[in-house]
C-alpha cells in the first residue's frame, strides 16, 4: 500500500463526507483546507430544520432539486457559522462545482479547487478563470476500484 499524496488524501475524505448526502440525485462532498489542515466539510442536503429529500422527496424545478443545498455551499456555511475564514483555501469537491457554488467559493476566498467527477458548467469555468482560481481534475486511480 502506498501512502497517498495530500490531494488524494483530502479527496478521499470528501468522498467519505459525500456518504452523508441526503438527496438521492447525487452524493456530493466537499472539504475545504488550508496549509494541509481541514477547515470545514459539507455535503448536499436540506437546510437546517427542513426535511431532507430522503424524507420528504426532492423539490424539483427545471430539472434541479431545490430542497438540497450543495456540498460546497454547506462547507462555506460551516465556516461562517463557526467563524472560520476560508481565505486562501483549497476546496476538494467530489464533483466539479456549478456556477452558483463557484461564485460562493470565489467570494469565500478559495484559491484552488480540486475535483474528480466532471460536471461541466461554462459559466463556472469563465468565472473561476476570471477570478484566478486554479481548478484541477484529480484523475482517480483505476486500480483503486479493484481493491
Cβ 23 vs Cβ 31: under 8 Å: no
CA distance 90 to 7: 10
Is 136 marked active-site?
no
CA distance 77 to 99: 17
Compute CA distances 9 → 12, 114, 142, whole Å: 5, 12, 16
Q: Contacts for 54-63 with beta carbons within 8 Å, 24 or more apart?
A: 54/22, 54/23, 54/24, 55/22, 58/23, 58/24, 58/25
Candidate list 35, 72, 96, 136, residue with the active-site label: 72
**Residues with catalytic roles:** 72
Amino acid at each position: 500500500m502506498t501512502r497517498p499524496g495530500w490531494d488524494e488524501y483530502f479527496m478521499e475524505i470528501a468522498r467519505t463526507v459525500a456518504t452523508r448526502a441526503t438527496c438521492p440525485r447525487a452524493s456530493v462532498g466537499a472539504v475545504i483546507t488550508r496549509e494541509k489542515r481541514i477547515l470545514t466539510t459539507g455535503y448536499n442536503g436540506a437546510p437546517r430544520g427542513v426535511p431532507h429529500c430522503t424524507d420528504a422527496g426532492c423539490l424539483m424545478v427545471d430539472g434541479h432539486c431545490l430542497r438540497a443545498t450543495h456540498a460546497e455551499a454547506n462547507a462555506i456555511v460551516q465556516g461562517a457559522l463557526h467563524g472560520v475564514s476560508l481565505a486562501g483555501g483549497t476546496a476538494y469537491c467530489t464533483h466539479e462545482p456549478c456556477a452558483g457554488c463557484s461564485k460562493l467559493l470565489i467570494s469565500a476566498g478559495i484559491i484552488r479547487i480540486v475535483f474528480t467527477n466532471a460536471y461541466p458548467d461554462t459559466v463556472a469555468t469563465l468565472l473561476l478563470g476570471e477570478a484566478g482560481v486554479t481548478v484541477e481534475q484529480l484523475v482517480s486511480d483505476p486500480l483503486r476500484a479493484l481493491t
